[in-house]
Amino acid sequence: MGAHAPETGPGPADPADTARAALVRLIDRSGAWASDPVWREAFEAVPRHLFVPYYYIGVTGGYERLWGEDPDPAARDRWLRGAYADTPLATRVRDGELVSSSSQPSLMATMLVALEVRDGDAVLEIGAGTGYNAALLSYRLGDGLVTTVDLDVDITEAARAHLDVAGFHPDVVTGDGARGVPERAPFDRIIATCTLTTIPRAWLAQCAPGARVLAPLATGLIGLEVRDAGHAEGRFLHTSAFFVPLRGATRSEPEPEPARTGGVPRRARGHDLFRFLLALTAGRLDPPDAYALWEREGQPQRERYGVTVDEESAWAWLDDPEGPYTWRLP
């Protein structure tokens, strides 16, 4: 009887595939995409490590750079494990200041689900970052329906290169995100991955009727339904959110300084929901008054707050846009 070639089993799993599968399982447990499991397929398919060839982690006195082509195998392994950790990654640091990052994947999943996209929707992303979020959108909708914009040419060039390596080709635009991208309008969805101080009206003018805008504001995520170019309204999601601020010439004012909390009991000063109220009403409600309101209203969750934008102004509110608790946005 002739000899048989030895049977071979499956080869060793690709470390990136294994790490990505573990990240997907972790997000599964969070329930982030329970209402729209198609996003699970996108996170399974899009390799995050291709969008973060290097990133920085905070260390005493500054940042340490981790690099996917480090000659040390242990350092490369550490880079890959970090690329698939459910944490934000600092990707650009300038003069010691963080200017761009890759968001926490589970928060990205929450935001993409909350965007409520439908097949055929045209989406504008404000803040290209690494290109990873645009790749997830392109996987779901197709390249031709996705536009991403960032102020910094270095960021857009890098995002375009990452997207190309991963096989995605949405429209990547260098420009002021607060102005939108009028030449690609109208949009059915706008998603921002940078913190705002107000809602730019230029976005509403570039939205189709019935569009949805999802953006970080204060330390939360506001979801706005757009009626027309002069009116949008909606409530905050339950989750907290912290992003790099929107940069650009059209920003109405700098990020507010942290509120001084003298006269506020210590137990409230570090409370997430109280800090949210302070951020939302920065400069328009003194901390002791904010604390009195917060206690009187039963320490309200984020979902009780909302934002209205009309042709003349934008304001935040508690429970009712015409109620007693309203605060003008810049």
Torsions phi, psi of 40, nearest 5? -60, -40
Catalytic residue among 30, 35, 100, 102: 100
Task: Report DSSP state, residue 14.
Answer: P
Q: Extract the tokens encoding 145.
A: 């329906």
Contact partners, residue 251, CB within 8 Å, separation at least 6: 178, 197
313 is catalytic: no
Strand partners of residue 234 = 307
3-state SS record for 301-325: CHHHEEEEECCCCEEEEECCCCCCC
Which residues touch 6 (CB under 8 Å, ≥6 apart)? none
What are the φ/ψ torsions at residue 165 (nearest 5 degrees)? Answer: -60, -40
- Give CA–CA dist 295/312, Å, rounded: 32
Beta bridge partners of 226: 232
* Residues identified as active-site: 100
